[in-house]
Structure 1
Amino acid sequence: MKSLVKSLAACFAAALPLAGALAFEPFEQSAGQSSSSSGSSAPAPSGPIRFAEGRYELGRRTRALERAWMNCRDADRRSAAIPRVQTAVLGFFSGNAGVVAQSLDETAAALRGQSPDAADRWVAALSVTPARALVDLREPALDVTIATLYEVNAPRPALTLRLAVGKSAAMVRLTADTPLPHRVRVAFEPSKQDIDAALEVAVGTPGNPARQSWRIGVSRVRDLDRRLTALDAAAMALTKAPAPDAFDLERATLATRVSLLKALRERPPLETDLAGAEILRDTERLVEGLRATPPRSTLVGRAGETLLSAPTAKGPLPARALASPEAPVLVIAFHGAGGSENMFFDGYGDGEIVRLCRARGWALACPRVTSPLDDYGPVIERLPALLAPKAKRIFIVGHSLGAATALVVATKYADRLAGIAPISGRAPGATGALKSLPTFVSAGTKDFSRSGAEQLAERLRAQETPTTFKLYEAEHLLVVPDALPDIFAWMDNLAQRPR
C-alpha cells in the first residue's frame, strides 16, 4: 500500500495547483496612481519563478484551459492539445511554473482557434499579484506586483494595464525597458462596510487596451487585526474543551478557519479566490454559537457553500462543501495529489462537479486529500448528517490519488455507499469488499493511469462487481470534466432505483 501511495503521489503533482502562496520580495518603492517606464521598480533576476510562487496564476490559467477544452467541439484541435497538456504535466513534475504557464496559455489559445501575435503572448505571460488577499478598510491602497511567468521569444511591445478596485483605478504603462517585477499602488474607495471585492485587471496595448482581462479576489473588512486577534483568542480558549464532544467538529472548523484568515491577511491570494469578509463574519457567528448558553452550532441546517473541518486523530481535516438540507444525494469527491479541498470547486472543469450537483439539488463534500492511508472516517460518518440530513444515497468520486483514496474508503464503508467513480485510478489492494458496489471506472486514452484503470475494471468484473468502464479522448487532467457528465448520468440512474 505504501509503495502505491508513493507512486501515485509522484505521478501527478497537481492538475490545478492549490494550497500554496505567491511570494515576491517586499516592496522597495511605491508608484503613484499612474506608473510609466521611468524605472521606478528595482530590477529582479529573470528566469522561471519557483513553482510555489505561481500557484494562484497557474490555477487561473488551468481554469481557462478547462473552459477552452469544454467549449471546443473540434476533434482535431482537442487531439492536438493533448501533447501540449502533457508538456504542462512534465512542468509540474519539474516544479517549473514558467513551463507550465506557457503550455497552459498556448494550449488554451489553440483550443479557441486563436493565433496570438507577439503582443498577445506578452499579455498572456504577465502575472498580477496583490500583496494580500484580506485588508483592513482603513488601508488607503493595495500594493500590486506586475511580473512575467515566462519569457516570450519576441521583443516586448508597449503594454498597458488598468488595475481597478471598484471605481478607483491605476493606469500602468510598461515599455520594453521597464524592469519587471514592477510595483504599483491601487487606491481604495472609502468604505464603512465589509466587502468581498476584486482587483479588476485589463491588459493590452495602447491601440487595444483590453486584449485580456480577469479579476482577483480582494476582501476588505473593518477592524481586521482586532477581529482576528479576538478570533484567535476564542479558538485557543474553545479548543481547550474536552474532546470529543458534541461540538468537536465546530471547534475543528474554528481552528482551521482562523489559520486561513491569518494567511489571507498576511499573503497574496493563496490558490483561488475566497470570500474573506464572509468567512470572517461566519467564523464570528460560529464563535457566538459556541459561547452561547447552551452552546449551539451555526453549521447545522445551512444551505450553500461552506468551509468546515472534521476532527481526526491527526488533527482537523479541512473540507469545502455545498450543503443542502433537502438533498436526496450526497456526493463526496476526493481530489488528486497536490490539490486541496478547493480543487473540485474551482478546477476539474472550472467547477463542473458543483454545477452538476446544483442542477440536481444534491449536496457535495470535498475533503483535503494527502494519502489514501489517512483517516477519512469522519467524512463518511459525520458530514452526511450535517450537509444533507435527508440524503438516502452517498456516492464517491475520486481522481488519481483521490481515486485510490475513494477505493480505500469504499472498502471500509461499502454498505453505506450507493456507488463509486474512480477516475484515472488503480486498485489499491483487495477489492472483495466492493463486490456488490456499483462502480464507474474511467480514464483518458492518453492518460498515464490508463493501464491501471483498465486493470481495476478487469478485477472488478472478474468478481462480478457491477462495473461501467469508459475511456475518453483526453489525458490525465482533462479527462475529469469529460467524464463527470457521464458519471452523474450513471448516478442519476442508480439514485432512481428502489433501495
Structure 2
Amino acid sequence: MRERILVGALGCIALLSTGCLFGADAEATRADLALAYAELEQALAEHPLPEADVRPVNTAFDQASIAFFLRNYSFAVSSIRELTARVRSGGAADGATRGIAALRGRSIPRTVVAGQSLEIELRTFGLPLAPAPPRTVPLRLMPLSGGPAVEREATLPLGLLGRVDTCIAITGGTELAPGAYDVQLGTDAGRFSVARLWVVTAGLDTQRTANEARLAELSAETPALAQALAAARARNALLTDRPPDAQTALAFDDPNRVAADVAVEIDALAAGRDPYRGRTGEYWRVARAGDVDVPLRVYAPGIAGADEPLPLLIVLHGAGGDENMFFQGYGAGRVRALAEELGLLVIAPRTELLVGNPERFGPLLEAVRHTYPLDDARITLLGHSLGAVTVVELAKRWPGQFAAGVCFAGAGNIGGARGLPPTRVYIGEQDPISPPRIVQAAVQQARAAGEPVELITLPGYGHTLGVGARLDEAVRWLAAQRRAK
C-alpha cells in the first residue's frame, strides 16, 4: 500500500513538473507570478480571512507554491489568481473568472514613448482542450500613481478550456500620460493584473546610454563613494526599453521617476557627494560585498534625514523570491507603514547571496553605515523560509551583532546554534515545506541548550501566508528589542 501511495505521489509530481496535466508551461514567467502573488496579498489585506477559510486558502496556496518550485509557473499563476477571486468574493471562481485567471498578458512593446501606439496581447496558458463561447470583458490600463484608467473591451472565449490568442490595439496612445500602468482584465472579484506597461517621456535605452558615458568618467575617492557609484551604475542598468521578464526591480515603479533620480544621482557623484546619504522613502540599489553586488530594496523613514542613529531591520525573503517581496508581497507591503510608524530603517537584500556566504553581511552592513547612522543596539533580523535559515546562519556567523531575530516557516540548524539573540520562530500548523514536527524538534533542542528561542504555532496556516498575518506582531516585537551591552 505504501508503495502505491509513493508511486502515485511521484506520478503527480512528474505531471506537475512537466506540465502534462495542466498544459505546456512555456508562457508564464516569474514576472507573472510576482503580479499574481502581490495581488493576492493585497486582497488578503483588504479582506481578512474568516476563520473557516484560513485552512483551505493556505492549503491551496501551498499547492500553488509547490507547483512553482516544480517549475509549473502557469498552474501556479492561475491558481493564485483564482484564490484572489475567492478571497475577494468569499466564494469559488466561476468559469469566466477561471478563464481570465489562465491568461498571460503582454504590452507590445513593453515600453512606449508617450503618444506611440501599442497592443495588449492576451494568450491562454498551456494547451486548452475545447472551445468556449465568447464574452466581452473590460480591459483597463490603470496608472499606478492614481488617476483615471484608460478603458477598452475585449471579446474572449472565457470558459475554463477556451483558447485565447488575441491583441487589443491602443491606437495613438494619446490617452496615456507618462508613467507606469497596471493592465487589468475582468470585473469585480474576477479582475486581475495581467501585465505592466511603461509610458516614458524618452526612450530608456537612450537615457541609459547617455548616463553610462557620464558614469564612465567618474571615480570614487572614498569607500562610501565607491558604494554609491556601484549603486548608481546598477540603478542606471535598470533603464531599458525591453526589460527581461525575470527582472522585477522596477515592476512596481515608474521608470520616468527612476530615470530622473539617476540623473540627479550622477550629478551628485560628479560633485563628490553621496546621493543616497540620508535619503528617505523607498528605493532599489546594490551594495558591493567583495566582488559581488548584492541587490537590496531600502525603506528609510522620514526621520532618516535628521542624521540620528536609526534602528535597522533586515528582512530576508524565501526561495524563489527576490529583494522586492517584503515591499510588494508579504502583507501587501505593510512593512513600509511599520517602518514609518516605528522609525525603522528597513533593508531587504537578495537572500541567496547571503545564506551560503554569511561573511558578505559585514561589507553589506558597512555599505548601509555609509548611508545612514545606525543604532548598533537595535539591529534585528526577520526571514521567511530560506530567509529564516539565513537569519540563523547570520546570527551564528556574527554573534553579538543582533538584538533579536524572527524566523517564519523554518529555522535551519537552529537546534545546533549557540549564542543566539532572542529569537521567535513562527511555524504554520500545516506547513508542507517546513514540516512543523522538524521545526519543533529543532527549537526544543535549542531551548534545552539554554538558547532564548520561542516557538509560535499558527493554526490553519501553511508555508507563506502566515508572514502577512503576523508581520505587525513580529516587527513590533523586534522594534522593542535591544542588544545587551
Within 5 Å, give how 1:278-293 maps onto structure 2. Answer: 278-292=257-271
Aligned mate of 1:359, from 322, 335, 341: 341
* Alpha-carbon distance between aligned partners in 2 of 1:200 and 1:419, rounded to the nearest angstrom: 41
Q: Which moved more, 1:364-373 or 1:148-157?
A: 148-157
> 1 CA distance for matches of 2:221 and 2:26?
41
Paired letter, 2:470 = A
Equivalent in 432, 442, 447 of residue 461 of structure 1: 447
Distance 1:99 1:403 in 2: 27
Pairing 1:250–2:210 present: no
- The partner residue of 1:481 within 456, 465, 468 is 468
Q: How far 1:392 sits from its partner (Å)?
A: 4.9
1:143 aligns with 2:84: no
Check 1:213–1:392 CA distance in 2 against 1; reply closer, same or farther (3 A cut). Answer: same
| Structure 2: distance between partners of 1:201 and 1:343 | 21
Determine the structure 2 residue equivalent to 1:35.
none
Q: Could you tell me how far apart the structure 1 residues matched to 2:175 and 2:152 are? A: 18
Local SS of the residue matching 1:494: coil
1:118 and 1:154 in contact (8 A); partners too:
no
Contact 2:339/2:346 (8 A) holds in 1: yes
Deviations 1:279-302 (A, max 9, x none): 11111111111112xx11110011
Distance 2:40 2:205 in 1: 38
> 1:229 offset after TM fit, Å?
0.9
TM-score (normalizing by structure 1)? 0.78
Q: 1:422 to 1:412 in 2, by over 3 A?
A: same
Residue aligning to 2:165 = 181
Residues 248-257 or 353-362, more deviating: 353-362
**Corresponding residue SS for 2:100:** helix
Picking from 384, 389, 413, the partner of 1:404 is 389
Aligned to 1:65: 40
Q: Which residue of 2 aligns with 1:494?
A: 481
Report sequence identity in percent. Answer: 23
Asked if 1 retains the 8 angstrom alpha-carbon contact of 2:136 and 2:153, the reply is no
Distance 2:394 2:200 in 1: 40
- For residue 427 of structure 2, the aligned residue among 427, 443, 462 is 443
- Residue in structure 2 matching 1:85, options 49, 52, 61: 61
User: Structure 2 matches for 1:27-426, cutoff 5 A?
Assistant: 47-50=23-26, 53-70=28-45, 71-111=47-87, 112-137=89-114, 140-149=116-125, 151=128, 155-164=132-141, 169-175=151-157, 180-187=164-171, 189-190=173-174, 195-203=178-186, 211-212=190-191, 214=193, 216=196, 218-238=198-218, 241=219, 245-262=223-240, 265-267=242-244, 270-271=247-248, 272-292=251-271, 295-324=272-301, 325=304, 328-371=310-353, 372-374=355-357, 375-384=360-369, 386-387=371-372, 389=374, 392-426=377-411
Moved more, 305-314 or 376-385: 376-385
In the aligned structure 2, how far is the partner of 1:360 from the partner of 1:327?
A: 13
How many Å separate the matches in 2 of 1:363 and 1:406?
A: 17
How far is 1:227 from its partner? Answer: 1.6
The 1-side partners of 2:167 and 2:247 are apart by: 19
- CA deviations 1:151-198 (Å, max 9, x no partner) are 5988343233334476754433235799633123324555998x3231
Shift of 1:231: 1.5
1:383 & 1:82 partners in 2: Cα distance? 36
Give ranges in structure 1 of 5+ residues lacking alignment. 1-45
TM-score for the superposition, normalised by structure 2: 0.80
Three-state SS of the structure 2 residue aligned to 1:285 is helix
Aligned to 1:30: none
Distance 2:277 2:220 in 1: 21
User: Are the aligned partners of 2:413 and 2:442 in contact in 1 as well (CA < 8 Å)?
Assistant: no
1:171–1:284 CA distance, 2 compared to 1 (3 A): same
CA contact (8 A) 1:192 1:222 kept: no
Partner of 1:6: none
Give the CA deviation at 1:492: 4.0
User: Aligned residue for 1:42?
Assistant: none
| Structure 1 residue 339, shift from structure 2 partner | 1.3
Residue 418 of structure 1: CA displacement? 1.1
**1:199 Cα deviation from its structure 2 partner:** 4.3
Per the TM alignment, residue 276 of structure 1 is displaced from its structure 2 partner at its CA by 1.1
Deviations 1:278-326 (A, max 9, x none): 111111111111112xx11110011100112111223211110001315
Q: Which structure ranks higher in relative contact order (CA pairs < 8 Å, sequence separation ≥ 6)?
A: 1
**C-alpha distance 386-453 of structure 1, shift in aligned 2 (>3 A):** farther
Tell me: CA distance 1:102–1:245, structure 2 relative to 1, closer, same or farther (3 Å).
closer
Structure 1 residues 384 and 416: CA distance shift in structure 2, 3 A: farther
For 1:453 and 1:356, locate their aligned partners in 2 and report how far apart those are by CA, in whole Å.
28
Any stretches of 5+ residues in structure 2 without a counterpart?
1-21, 143-147
The one of 433, 456, 460 equivalent to 2:419 is: 433
Counterpart of 2:213, as a letter, is A
For the residues of structure 2 that align with 1:427 and 1:315, how far apart are their CA atoms? 24
Matched residues in 1 for 2:370 and 2:209: separation? 32
Seen in structure 2, the aligned counterparts of structure 1 residues 453 and 233 have a Cα distance that, compared at 3 Å, is farther
After superposition, the Cα gap between the structure-2 partners of 1:219 and 1:402, relative to the gap in structure 1 and judged at 3 Å, is: farther
Query: Does the 8 Å contact 2:289/2:364 carry over to 1?
Result: no
Report SS of the residue matched to 1:107: helix
